[in-house]
Structure 1
Amino acid sequence: MSVGEEEWARERAGFGPDGEPAPGLLAAQFAQLTQTLLDATPTVGGVLKLVVGAAAALVPDADLVSVTLRDADGTFHTPVGTDPVAERLDQVQYDHGEGPCVESARPDGPAVGWSPDLGGDARWPAFGPAAARHGYHSVLATALLPDARLPRLSGALNIYSRRPGAFDARAIDLALLLATHASLALAHTHAVASAELEAAHLRRAVDSRDVIGQAKGILMQRRGITADEAFDVLRRASQELNVKLADLAKTLATRHTEVDLPAAEA
Protein backbone atom coordinates (compact mmCIF):
# COMPACT_ATOMS: atom_id res chain seq x y z
CA MET A 1 0.00 0.00 0.00
CA SER A 2 1.11 3.59 -0.63
CA VAL A 3 2.09 5.82 2.24
CA GLY A 4 0.09 9.04 2.56
CA GLU A 5 1.22 12.34 3.97
CA GLU A 6 -1.02 11.94 7.03
CA GLU A 7 0.61 8.63 7.87
CA TRP A 8 4.06 10.13 7.46
CA ALA A 9 3.11 12.95 9.82
CA ARG A 10 1.97 10.43 12.41
CA GLU A 11 5.21 8.54 11.88
CA ARG A 12 7.29 11.59 12.73
CA ALA A 13 5.11 12.52 15.70
CA GLY A 14 4.92 9.08 17.31
CA PHE A 15 6.91 8.61 20.52
CA GLY A 16 6.84 5.96 23.19
CA PRO A 17 5.94 6.45 26.86
CA ASP A 18 9.54 7.07 27.93
CA GLY A 19 10.35 9.52 25.20
CA GLU A 20 11.73 6.80 22.93
CA PRO A 21 10.57 6.78 19.31
CA ALA A 22 7.78 4.23 18.91
CA PRO A 23 8.07 1.69 16.08
CA GLY A 24 6.04 3.36 13.36
CA LEU A 25 4.93 2.81 9.83
CA LEU A 26 8.34 3.04 8.21
CA ALA A 27 10.04 0.80 10.79
CA ALA A 28 7.25 -1.75 10.44
CA GLN A 29 7.51 -1.72 6.65
CA PHE A 30 11.26 -2.28 6.74
CA ALA A 31 10.95 -4.99 9.39
CA GLN A 32 8.42 -6.75 7.18
CA LEU A 33 10.67 -6.37 4.12
CA THR A 34 13.67 -7.74 6.02
CA GLN A 35 11.70 -10.76 7.23
CA THR A 36 10.29 -11.38 3.76
CA LEU A 37 13.75 -11.26 2.23
CA LEU A 38 15.05 -13.69 4.84
CA ASP A 39 12.11 -16.06 4.32
CA ALA A 40 12.11 -15.83 0.52
CA THR A 41 13.51 -18.43 -1.83
CA PRO A 42 17.09 -17.19 -2.31
CA THR A 43 17.08 -16.34 -6.00
CA VAL A 44 18.36 -13.12 -7.52
CA GLY A 45 15.09 -12.53 -9.36
CA GLY A 46 13.02 -13.11 -6.23
CA VAL A 47 15.07 -10.67 -4.16
CA LEU A 48 14.94 -7.96 -6.82
CA LYS A 49 11.17 -8.30 -7.26
CA LEU A 50 10.66 -7.86 -3.52
CA VAL A 51 12.86 -4.75 -3.38
CA VAL A 52 11.24 -3.19 -6.45
CA GLY A 53 7.80 -3.78 -4.96
CA ALA A 54 8.88 -2.25 -1.65
CA ALA A 55 10.28 0.82 -3.41
CA ALA A 56 7.04 1.32 -5.32
CA ALA A 57 5.09 1.13 -2.05
CA LEU A 58 7.39 3.13 0.23
CA VAL A 59 8.94 5.94 -1.81
CA PRO A 60 6.52 8.88 -2.29
CA ASP A 61 5.82 9.76 -5.95
CA ALA A 62 7.35 6.51 -7.23
CA ASP A 63 5.47 5.74 -10.46
CA LEU A 64 7.98 3.35 -12.05
CA VAL A 65 10.69 1.26 -10.39
CA SER A 66 13.37 -0.92 -11.97
CA VAL A 67 16.78 -2.40 -11.27
CA THR A 68 19.88 -2.02 -13.42
CA LEU A 69 22.59 -4.68 -13.19
CA ARG A 70 26.04 -4.30 -14.69
CA ASP A 71 27.45 -7.46 -16.28
CA ALA A 72 31.07 -8.59 -16.07
CA ASP A 73 31.74 -7.20 -19.56
CA GLY A 74 30.51 -3.73 -18.55
CA THR A 75 27.13 -3.92 -20.30
CA PHE A 76 23.87 -3.16 -18.50
CA HIS A 77 20.48 -4.85 -18.40
CA THR A 78 17.18 -4.51 -16.52
CA PRO A 79 16.19 -7.86 -14.96
CA VAL A 80 13.06 -6.55 -13.21
CA GLY A 81 10.77 -3.52 -13.39
CA THR A 82 7.23 -2.54 -12.49
CA ASP A 83 6.30 -1.61 -16.08
CA PRO A 84 7.79 -2.08 -19.57
CA VAL A 85 8.14 1.72 -19.79
CA ALA A 86 10.77 1.55 -17.02
CA GLU A 87 12.74 -0.95 -19.09
CA ARG A 88 12.53 1.33 -22.14
CA LEU A 89 13.74 4.34 -20.18
CA ASP A 90 16.60 2.26 -18.74
CA GLN A 91 17.50 1.10 -22.25
CA VAL A 92 17.78 4.69 -23.50
CA GLN A 93 20.44 5.21 -20.85
CA TYR A 94 22.26 2.01 -21.80
CA ASP A 95 22.21 2.91 -25.49
CA HIS A 96 23.59 6.42 -24.94
CA GLY A 97 25.83 5.69 -21.95
CA GLU A 98 24.26 8.51 -19.93
CA GLY A 99 21.79 8.92 -17.09
CA PRO A 100 21.67 8.31 -13.34
CA CYS A 101 20.98 4.57 -13.65
CA VAL A 102 24.17 3.75 -15.57
CA GLU A 103 26.21 6.24 -13.55
CA SER A 104 25.11 4.81 -10.19
CA ALA A 105 25.45 1.24 -11.46
CA ARG A 106 29.14 1.65 -12.21
CA PRO A 107 31.43 0.41 -9.40
CA ASP A 108 33.08 3.84 -9.17
CA GLY A 109 29.84 5.79 -9.71
CA PRO A 110 27.92 8.04 -7.32
CA ALA A 111 25.76 6.57 -4.56
CA VAL A 112 22.82 8.72 -5.72
CA GLY A 113 21.79 10.14 -9.08
CA TRP A 114 18.82 12.52 -9.10
CA SER A 115 17.04 15.01 -11.31
CA PRO A 116 13.83 16.97 -10.62
CA ASP A 117 13.55 18.22 -14.23
CA LEU A 118 14.56 15.63 -16.79
CA GLY A 119 13.36 17.60 -19.80
CA GLY A 120 15.68 20.49 -18.98
CA ASP A 121 18.64 18.59 -17.47
CA ALA A 122 21.72 19.39 -19.57
CA ARG A 123 23.69 16.47 -18.10
CA TRP A 124 21.73 13.90 -20.11
CA PRO A 125 20.79 15.40 -23.49
CA ALA A 126 19.46 12.11 -24.91
CA PHE A 127 17.92 10.44 -21.87
CA GLY A 128 16.33 13.49 -20.20
CA PRO A 129 14.12 14.61 -23.12
CA ALA A 130 13.23 10.98 -23.92
CA ALA A 131 11.96 10.44 -20.36
CA ALA A 132 10.02 13.71 -20.47
CA ARG A 133 8.37 12.68 -23.74
CA HIS A 134 7.15 9.53 -22.00
CA GLY A 135 5.66 11.73 -19.26
CA TYR A 136 8.28 11.16 -16.56
CA HIS A 137 9.94 14.32 -15.24
CA SER A 138 11.89 13.20 -12.15
CA VAL A 139 14.28 10.31 -11.55
CA LEU A 140 16.17 8.90 -8.58
CA ALA A 141 18.82 6.17 -8.80
CA THR A 142 20.71 4.69 -5.86
CA ALA A 143 23.69 2.36 -6.20
CA LEU A 144 23.57 -1.31 -5.34
CA LEU A 145 26.84 -2.13 -3.60
CA PRO A 146 29.15 -4.15 -5.83
CA ASP A 147 29.84 -7.78 -5.07
CA ALA A 148 32.98 -8.03 -2.93
CA ARG A 149 34.30 -10.79 -5.20
CA LEU A 150 35.65 -10.31 -8.71
CA PRO A 151 34.41 -9.19 -11.18
CA ARG A 152 32.60 -7.01 -8.55
CA LEU A 153 29.21 -6.87 -10.24
CA SER A 154 27.17 -3.78 -9.37
CA GLY A 155 23.85 -2.13 -10.13
CA ALA A 156 21.30 0.52 -9.26
CA LEU A 157 17.74 0.86 -7.98
CA ASN A 158 15.88 3.22 -10.33
CA ILE A 159 12.74 5.22 -9.46
CA TYR A 160 10.83 7.41 -11.93
CA SER A 161 8.08 9.95 -11.21
CA ARG A 162 5.63 11.80 -13.42
CA ARG A 163 5.76 14.78 -11.05
CA PRO A 164 8.39 17.48 -11.63
CA GLY A 165 10.39 18.21 -8.49
CA ALA A 166 9.75 14.79 -6.95
CA PHE A 167 12.04 12.97 -4.53
CA ASP A 168 13.10 15.05 -1.53
CA ALA A 169 15.73 14.15 1.07
CA ARG A 170 13.36 11.68 2.75
CA ALA A 171 12.80 9.84 -0.54
CA ILE A 172 16.55 9.69 -1.14
CA ASP A 173 17.11 8.24 2.35
CA LEU A 174 14.43 5.63 1.74
CA ALA A 175 15.91 4.67 -1.62
CA LEU A 176 19.37 4.34 -0.06
CA LEU A 177 17.99 2.08 2.68
CA LEU A 178 16.21 -0.06 0.12
CA ALA A 179 19.34 -0.31 -2.01
CA THR A 180 21.31 -1.40 1.06
CA HIS A 181 18.66 -4.05 1.80
CA ALA A 182 18.88 -5.24 -1.79
CA SER A 183 22.69 -5.36 -1.73
CA LEU A 184 22.77 -7.39 1.49
CA ALA A 185 20.03 -9.72 0.29
CA LEU A 186 21.83 -10.27 -3.02
CA ALA A 187 25.08 -11.00 -1.18
CA HIS A 188 23.21 -13.53 0.98
CA THR A 189 21.64 -15.04 -2.14
CA HIS A 190 25.01 -15.42 -3.85
CA ALA A 191 26.49 -16.95 -0.70
CA VAL A 192 23.64 -19.47 -0.45
CA ALA A 193 23.92 -20.31 -4.13
CA SER A 194 27.70 -20.76 -3.85
CA ALA A 195 27.31 -22.98 -0.80
CA GLU A 196 24.70 -25.09 -2.58
CA LEU A 197 26.92 -25.42 -5.65
CA GLU A 198 29.87 -26.40 -3.49
CA ALA A 199 27.78 -28.96 -1.61
CA ALA A 200 26.49 -30.38 -4.89
CA HIS A 201 30.05 -30.56 -6.21
CA LEU A 202 31.19 -32.40 -3.08
CA ARG A 203 28.25 -34.81 -3.34
CA ARG A 204 29.14 -35.52 -6.97
CA ALA A 205 32.78 -36.06 -5.98
CA VAL A 206 31.79 -38.53 -3.24
CA ASP A 207 29.37 -40.30 -5.57
CA SER A 208 32.04 -40.54 -8.27
CA ARG A 209 34.56 -41.93 -5.82
CA ASP A 210 32.05 -44.53 -4.60
CA VAL A 211 31.06 -45.70 -8.08
CA ILE A 212 34.69 -45.92 -9.19
CA GLY A 213 35.37 -48.08 -6.13
CA GLN A 214 32.46 -50.34 -7.09
CA ALA A 215 33.73 -50.68 -10.66
CA LYS A 216 37.23 -51.47 -9.44
CA GLY A 217 35.82 -54.16 -7.12
CA ILE A 218 33.95 -55.76 -10.03
CA LEU A 219 37.10 -55.89 -12.18
CA MET A 220 39.23 -57.20 -9.29
CA GLN A 221 36.80 -60.00 -8.59
CA ARG A 222 36.18 -60.82 -12.24
CA ARG A 223 39.82 -60.82 -13.36
CA GLY A 224 41.75 -61.53 -10.17
CA ILE A 225 43.74 -58.30 -10.46
CA THR A 226 44.88 -55.69 -7.94
CA ALA A 227 43.14 -52.40 -7.20
CA ASP A 228 45.83 -50.45 -9.09
CA GLU A 229 45.48 -52.73 -12.11
CA ALA A 230 41.69 -52.37 -12.03
CA PHE A 231 41.98 -48.58 -11.95
CA ASP A 232 44.42 -48.71 -14.89
CA VAL A 233 41.85 -50.71 -16.88
CA LEU A 234 39.21 -48.07 -16.16
CA ARG A 235 41.56 -45.19 -16.99
CA ARG A 236 42.69 -46.63 -20.32
CA ALA A 237 39.14 -47.53 -21.36
CA SER A 238 37.99 -44.01 -20.46
CA GLN A 239 40.66 -42.48 -22.69
CA GLU A 240 40.06 -44.85 -25.61
CA LEU A 241 36.27 -44.46 -25.53
CA ASN A 242 36.45 -40.72 -24.78
CA VAL A 243 34.08 -41.15 -21.83
CA LYS A 244 34.49 -39.64 -18.38
CA LEU A 245 35.98 -42.07 -15.91
CA ALA A 246 33.08 -41.66 -13.46
CA ASP A 247 30.49 -42.24 -16.21
CA LEU A 248 32.30 -45.36 -17.42
CA ALA A 249 32.55 -46.67 -13.87
CA LYS A 250 28.84 -46.06 -13.30
CA THR A 251 27.97 -47.99 -16.47
CA LEU A 252 30.13 -50.91 -15.40
CA ALA A 253 28.76 -50.89 -11.85
CA THR A 254 25.11 -50.82 -12.91
CA ARG A 255 25.43 -53.13 -15.96
CA HIS A 256 28.34 -55.34 -14.95
CA THR A 257 26.68 -58.50 -16.33
CA GLU A 258 26.47 -56.89 -19.77
CA VAL A 259 29.64 -54.82 -20.00
CA ASP A 260 33.29 -55.79 -20.00
CA LEU A 261 36.43 -53.75 -20.57
CA PRO A 262 39.69 -54.54 -22.33
CA ALA A 263 42.47 -55.77 -20.09
CA ALA A 264 45.32 -53.48 -19.16
CA GLU A 265 48.47 -53.79 -21.20
CA ALA A 266 51.24 -55.76 -19.63
Structure 2
Amino acid sequence: MSVSEEEWARDRAWFGQDGAPAPGPLAGQFADLTRTLLDVTPTVGGVLKLVVGAAVAIIPDADLVSVTLRDTDGRFHTPVETDPVALELDRLQYEHGEGPCVESARPDGPAVGWSQDVGHDPRWPSFGPAAAGHGYHSVLATALLPDARPPRQSGALNIYSRTPGAFDSQAIDTALLLATHASLALAHTEALASAELEAEHLRRAIDSRDVIGQAKGILMQRRGITADEAFDVLRRTSQDLNVKLADLARTLATRHTEIDVPVSGGEG
Protein backbone atom coordinates (compact mmCIF):
# COMPACT_ATOMS: atom_id res chain seq x y z
CA MET A 1 0.00 0.00 0.00
CA SER A 2 1.41 3.40 -0.96
CA VAL A 3 1.81 6.14 1.64
CA SER A 4 1.30 9.82 0.86
CA GLU A 5 4.01 12.42 1.48
CA GLU A 6 1.72 14.10 4.02
CA GLU A 7 1.43 10.86 6.00
CA TRP A 8 5.19 10.38 6.00
CA ALA A 9 5.78 13.96 7.11
CA ARG A 10 3.24 13.64 9.93
CA ASP A 11 4.71 10.34 11.04
CA ARG A 12 8.30 11.64 11.03
CA ALA A 13 7.21 14.60 13.16
CA TRP A 14 5.57 12.26 15.65
CA PHE A 15 8.93 10.72 16.59
CA GLY A 16 10.14 13.89 18.31
CA GLN A 17 6.99 14.64 20.29
CA ASP A 18 5.86 13.71 23.79
CA GLY A 19 2.20 13.10 22.92
CA ALA A 20 0.78 9.72 22.03
CA PRO A 21 -0.82 9.95 18.58
CA ALA A 22 -1.54 6.76 16.74
CA PRO A 23 1.66 5.48 15.11
CA GLY A 24 1.75 5.79 11.35
CA PRO A 25 3.74 4.25 8.49
CA LEU A 26 7.18 5.24 9.79
CA ALA A 27 6.52 3.64 13.18
CA GLY A 28 5.24 0.58 11.34
CA GLN A 29 8.47 0.41 9.34
CA PHE A 30 10.51 0.42 12.55
CA ALA A 31 8.28 -2.21 14.16
CA ASP A 32 8.64 -4.46 11.10
CA LEU A 33 12.39 -3.85 11.00
CA THR A 34 12.77 -4.75 14.67
CA ARG A 35 10.86 -8.02 14.25
CA THR A 36 12.80 -8.93 11.14
CA LEU A 37 16.20 -8.08 12.59
CA LEU A 38 15.69 -10.08 15.74
CA ASP A 39 13.73 -13.01 14.34
CA VAL A 40 14.86 -13.98 10.86
CA THR A 41 18.37 -12.67 10.20
CA PRO A 42 20.90 -15.19 11.51
CA THR A 43 23.96 -13.51 10.01
CA VAL A 44 25.71 -10.19 10.45
CA GLY A 45 25.50 -9.62 6.71
CA GLY A 46 21.74 -10.17 6.77
CA VAL A 47 21.31 -7.63 9.56
CA LEU A 48 23.36 -4.98 7.76
CA LYS A 49 21.58 -5.45 4.43
CA LEU A 50 18.22 -4.91 6.10
CA VAL A 51 19.44 -1.78 7.85
CA VAL A 52 20.88 -0.10 4.73
CA GLY A 53 17.72 -0.97 2.82
CA ALA A 54 15.57 0.54 5.56
CA ALA A 55 17.68 3.72 5.58
CA VAL A 56 17.15 4.24 1.85
CA ALA A 57 13.40 3.66 2.25
CA ILE A 58 12.87 5.77 5.37
CA ILE A 59 15.25 8.74 5.21
CA PRO A 60 14.36 11.38 2.59
CA ASP A 61 17.11 12.19 0.05
CA ALA A 62 19.20 9.17 1.12
CA ASP A 63 20.76 8.33 -2.25
CA LEU A 64 23.52 6.02 -1.01
CA VAL A 65 23.85 4.08 2.24
CA SER A 66 26.72 1.98 3.55
CA VAL A 67 28.07 0.54 6.77
CA THR A 68 31.58 1.03 8.11
CA LEU A 69 32.97 -1.51 10.58
CA ARG A 70 36.17 -0.89 12.49
CA ASP A 71 38.29 -3.92 13.33
CA THR A 72 39.91 -4.22 16.74
CA ASP A 73 43.25 -3.37 15.09
CA GLY A 74 41.85 -0.01 13.95
CA ARG A 75 41.34 -0.82 10.28
CA PHE A 76 38.08 0.18 8.56
CA HIS A 77 36.11 -1.74 5.95
CA THR A 78 32.71 -1.55 4.25
CA PRO A 79 30.88 -4.90 4.34
CA VAL A 80 27.57 -3.62 2.90
CA GLU A 81 26.60 -0.77 0.58
CA THR A 82 23.69 0.08 -1.69
CA ASP A 83 25.89 1.19 -4.60
CA PRO A 84 29.58 0.90 -5.52
CA VAL A 85 29.86 4.70 -5.31
CA ALA A 86 29.19 4.45 -1.56
CA LEU A 87 32.12 2.06 -1.29
CA GLU A 88 34.34 4.60 -3.05
CA LEU A 89 33.19 7.44 -0.78
CA ASP A 90 33.90 5.28 2.26
CA ARG A 91 37.30 4.35 0.86
CA LEU A 92 38.20 8.03 0.45
CA GLN A 93 37.54 8.57 4.16
CA TYR A 94 39.61 5.53 5.16
CA GLU A 95 42.44 6.63 2.89
CA HIS A 96 42.56 10.21 4.17
CA GLY A 97 41.67 9.35 7.77
CA GLU A 98 38.97 12.02 7.84
CA GLY A 99 35.23 12.28 7.39
CA PRO A 100 32.09 11.67 9.42
CA CYS A 101 32.04 7.90 9.00
CA VAL A 102 35.59 7.28 10.29
CA GLU A 103 34.97 9.69 13.17
CA SER A 104 31.67 8.10 14.19
CA ALA A 105 33.06 4.58 13.68
CA ARG A 106 35.77 5.07 16.30
CA PRO A 107 34.84 3.73 19.77
CA ASP A 108 35.40 7.17 21.32
CA GLY A 109 33.94 9.08 18.37
CA PRO A 110 30.77 11.20 18.18
CA ALA A 111 27.35 9.57 17.97
CA VAL A 112 26.59 11.66 14.90
CA GLY A 113 28.73 13.31 12.23
CA TRP A 114 27.22 15.22 9.34
CA SER A 115 27.66 18.02 6.87
CA GLN A 116 25.12 19.91 4.76
CA ASP A 117 27.79 21.06 2.29
CA VAL A 118 30.66 18.63 2.50
CA GLY A 119 32.59 20.15 -0.41
CA HIS A 120 33.18 23.35 1.58
CA ASP A 121 33.45 21.83 5.07
CA PRO A 122 36.81 22.86 6.61
CA ARG A 123 36.83 19.80 8.89
CA TRP A 124 37.53 17.45 5.98
CA PRO A 125 39.72 19.27 3.44
CA SER A 126 40.57 16.13 1.47
CA PHE A 127 37.44 14.01 1.70
CA GLY A 128 34.92 16.86 1.32
CA PRO A 129 35.94 18.14 -2.12
CA ALA A 130 36.41 14.54 -3.34
CA ALA A 131 32.86 13.63 -2.29
CA ALA A 132 31.47 16.75 -3.94
CA GLY A 133 33.43 15.85 -7.06
CA HIS A 134 31.46 12.58 -7.17
CA GLY A 135 28.25 14.62 -6.97
CA TYR A 136 27.40 14.07 -3.29
CA HIS A 137 27.02 17.18 -1.16
CA SER A 138 25.40 16.03 2.10
CA VAL A 139 26.64 13.25 4.35
CA LEU A 140 25.38 11.81 7.64
CA ALA A 141 27.00 9.12 9.79
CA THR A 142 25.70 7.63 13.03
CA ALA A 143 27.69 5.36 15.33
CA LEU A 144 27.20 1.61 15.58
CA LEU A 145 28.36 -0.09 18.78
CA PRO A 146 27.72 -3.81 18.26
CA ASP A 147 30.08 -4.92 21.03
CA ALA A 148 30.45 -3.23 24.41
CA ARG A 149 33.05 -5.74 25.61
CA PRO A 150 36.78 -5.22 25.07
CA PRO A 151 38.31 -5.48 22.55
CA ARG A 152 35.44 -3.28 21.46
CA GLN A 153 34.27 -3.38 17.85
CA SER A 154 32.51 -0.34 16.44
CA GLY A 155 31.20 1.11 13.22
CA ALA A 156 28.95 3.65 11.54
CA LEU A 157 25.87 3.85 9.36
CA ASN A 158 26.72 6.18 6.46
CA ILE A 159 24.17 8.09 4.37
CA TYR A 160 25.03 10.20 1.32
CA SER A 161 22.84 12.60 -0.65
CA ARG A 162 23.27 14.53 -3.90
CA THR A 163 21.14 17.32 -2.42
CA PRO A 164 22.90 20.09 -0.46
CA GLY A 165 21.34 20.61 2.98
CA ALA A 166 19.57 17.25 2.74
CA PHE A 167 19.64 16.03 6.32
CA ASP A 168 17.65 17.91 8.96
CA SER A 169 17.11 17.06 12.63
CA GLN A 170 14.37 14.56 11.76
CA ALA A 171 16.72 12.69 9.43
CA ILE A 172 19.37 12.62 12.16
CA ASP A 173 16.86 11.27 14.72
CA THR A 174 15.75 8.57 12.29
CA ALA A 175 19.35 7.60 11.48
CA LEU A 176 20.11 7.33 15.19
CA LEU A 177 17.13 5.02 15.65
CA LEU A 178 18.28 2.88 12.73
CA ALA A 179 21.80 2.72 14.16
CA THR A 180 20.40 1.68 17.54
CA HIS A 181 18.35 -1.07 15.91
CA ALA A 182 21.39 -2.21 13.97
CA SER A 183 23.62 -2.23 17.05
CA LEU A 184 21.13 -4.28 19.06
CA ALA A 185 20.56 -6.71 16.20
CA LEU A 186 24.31 -7.13 15.63
CA ALA A 187 24.85 -7.81 19.33
CA HIS A 188 21.97 -10.30 19.27
CA THR A 189 23.34 -12.01 16.15
CA GLU A 190 26.86 -12.23 17.57
CA ALA A 191 25.49 -13.66 20.83
CA LEU A 192 23.59 -16.32 18.88
CA ALA A 193 26.67 -17.12 16.82
CA SER A 194 28.75 -17.45 19.99
CA ALA A 195 26.15 -19.70 21.59
CA GLU A 196 26.00 -21.89 18.47
CA LEU A 197 29.79 -22.09 18.38
CA GLU A 198 29.94 -23.12 22.04
CA ALA A 199 27.23 -25.71 21.43
CA GLU A 200 29.21 -27.11 18.50
CA HIS A 201 32.36 -27.29 20.62
CA LEU A 202 30.41 -29.11 23.33
CA ARG A 203 28.94 -31.53 20.80
CA ARG A 204 32.38 -32.31 19.42
CA ALA A 205 33.74 -32.81 22.93
CA ILE A 206 30.93 -35.26 23.73
CA ASP A 207 31.44 -37.08 20.42
CA SER A 208 35.18 -37.37 21.12
CA ARG A 209 34.54 -38.67 24.62
CA ASP A 210 32.08 -41.25 23.30
CA VAL A 211 34.35 -42.53 20.55
CA ILE A 212 37.31 -42.73 22.94
CA GLY A 213 35.11 -44.77 25.25
CA GLN A 214 34.28 -47.15 22.40
CA ALA A 215 37.95 -47.56 21.49
CA LYS A 216 38.85 -48.21 25.13
CA GLY A 217 36.16 -50.87 25.30
CA ILE A 218 37.54 -52.62 22.21
CA LEU A 219 41.07 -52.68 23.67
CA MET A 220 39.84 -53.86 27.06
CA GLN A 221 37.96 -56.74 25.47
CA ARG A 222 40.75 -57.71 23.11
CA ARG A 223 43.63 -57.49 25.54
CA GLY A 224 42.04 -58.07 28.92
CA ILE A 225 43.27 -54.74 30.32
CA THR A 226 41.68 -52.09 32.51
CA ALA A 227 40.09 -48.87 31.31
CA ASP A 228 43.09 -46.82 32.52
CA GLU A 229 45.50 -49.14 30.74
CA ALA A 230 43.45 -48.94 27.54
CA PHE A 231 43.51 -45.15 27.67
CA ASP A 232 47.31 -45.19 28.17
CA VAL A 233 47.65 -47.39 25.09
CA LEU A 234 45.59 -44.96 23.02
CA ARG A 235 47.49 -41.94 24.35
CA ARG A 236 50.93 -43.41 23.68
CA THR A 237 49.94 -44.62 20.22
CA SER A 238 48.55 -41.21 19.27
CA GLN A 239 51.86 -39.64 20.30
CA ASP A 240 53.92 -42.26 18.44
CA LEU A 241 51.89 -41.84 15.25
CA ASN A 242 51.45 -38.07 15.68
CA VAL A 243 47.68 -38.43 15.33
CA LYS A 244 45.00 -36.81 17.47
CA LEU A 245 43.75 -39.17 20.13
CA ALA A 246 40.11 -38.69 19.08
CA ASP A 247 40.95 -39.43 15.43
CA LEU A 248 42.85 -42.57 16.41
CA ALA A 249 39.96 -43.71 18.60
CA ARG A 250 37.44 -43.03 15.82
CA THR A 251 39.47 -45.09 13.36
CA LEU A 252 39.74 -47.98 15.79
CA ALA A 253 36.04 -47.83 16.69
CA THR A 254 34.87 -47.81 13.06
CA ARG A 255 37.46 -50.25 11.63
CA HIS A 256 38.19 -52.45 14.63
CA THR A 257 37.70 -55.65 12.63
CA GLU A 258 40.49 -54.61 10.25
CA ILE A 259 43.10 -53.03 12.50
CA ASP A 260 44.47 -53.06 16.01
CA VAL A 261 46.50 -50.55 17.99
CA PRO A 262 50.09 -51.80 18.21
CA VAL A 263 51.40 -53.00 21.54
CA SER A 264 53.86 -50.47 22.93
CA GLY A 265 56.15 -50.20 25.92
CA GLY A 266 56.20 -53.20 28.19
CA GLU A 267 52.81 -54.60 27.25
CA GLY A 268 52.52 -58.18 26.26
- Work out whether residues 104 and 110 of structure 2, in 8 Å CA contact, stay in contact via their aligned partners in 1: yes
Deviates more, 1:1-10 or 1:121-130: 1-10
Do the aligned residues in 2 keep the contact of 1:3 with 1:57 (CA within 8 Å)?
A: no
Q: CA deviation at 1:2?
A: 9.3
Is the CA contact 2:143–2:157 (under 8 Å) kept in the aligned structure 1?
Answer: yes
For the structure 1 residues 134 and 2, does the alpha-carbon distance in structure 2 shift closer, same or farther, using more than 3 Å as the test? farther
Secondary structure of the equivalent of 1:143? strand
2:122 and 2:10 mapped to 1: Cα distance? Answer: 39
Shift, 1:7, TM fit: 2.1
Aligned to 2:35: 35
Amino acid of the structure 2 residue aligned with 1:263: V
What amino acid does structure 1 have at the position aligned with 2:92? V
Q: CA deviation at 1:242?
A: 0.9
Distance in 2, matches of 1:241 and 1:61, equals 66
Counterpart residue number, 1:189: 189
**Is the contact between residue 99 and residue 127 of structure 1 (CA under 8 Å) also seen in structure 2?**
yes
In structure 1, C-alpha distance between the alignment counterparts of 2:11 and 2:262, rounded to whole Å: 80
Partner of 1:166: 166
- Return closer, same or farther for 1:13/1:168 CA change in 2, 3 Å cut-off: closer
The residue aligned with 1:134 is: 134
Instruction: Identify the residue that residue 94 of structure 2 maps to in structure 1.
Output: 94
TM-score normalised by structure 2 residue count? 0.94
Q: Distance in 1 between matches of 2:20 and 2:120?
A: 44
Asked whether the 8 Å contact 2:7–2:24 carries over to 1, the reply is: no
Give runs of aligned pairs for residues 71-150 of structure 1, distance below 5 A. Answer: 71-150=71-150
2:100 & 2:10 partners in 1: Cα distance?
32
Conserved in 2, the CA contact under 8 Å of 1:61 and 1:163?
A: yes
SS at 1:183's partner residue? Answer: helix
Amino acid at match of 2:127: F
Could you tell me which residue of structure 2 aligns to residue 248 of structure 1? 248
- Give the aligned partner of residue 202 of structure 1: 202
- How far apart in 2 are the matches of 1:35 and 1:229? 56
How far apart are residue 12 of structure 1 and its match? 6.4
Give the SS at the match of 1:166.
coil
Question: How far does residue 150 in structure 1 lie from its aligned partner after superposition?
Answer: 2.2
Q: Secondary structure at the match of 2:148?
A: coil
8 A Cα contact 1:232 1:264, kept in partner: no
Q: Provide the C-alpha distance between the structure 1 equivalents of 2:3 and 2:105, rounded to a whole number of angstroms.
A: 27
Q: Which runs of 5+ in 2 are unaligned?
A: none
C-alpha contact (below 8 Å) 1:117/1:165 kept by paired residues:
yes
TM-score normalised to structure 1 length: 0.95
Q: What SS does structure 1 have at the residue aligned with 2:192?
A: helix
Aligned partner of 1:228 in structure 2 is 228
Can you list the C-alpha shifts for 1:142-182, whole angstroms capped at 9, x where unaligned?
00014122211000000000000110000000000000000
Runs of 5+ consecutive residues of structure 1 not aligned to the other structure: none
Distance 1:95 1:148 in 2: 27
- Residues 6-85 of structure 1 aligned to structure 2 (within 5 Å): 6-11=6-11, 20-85=20-85
| 1:114 partner letter | W
Q: CA RMSD in A?
A: 1.7
- Counterpart CA distance in 2 for 1:49 and 1:12 is 23
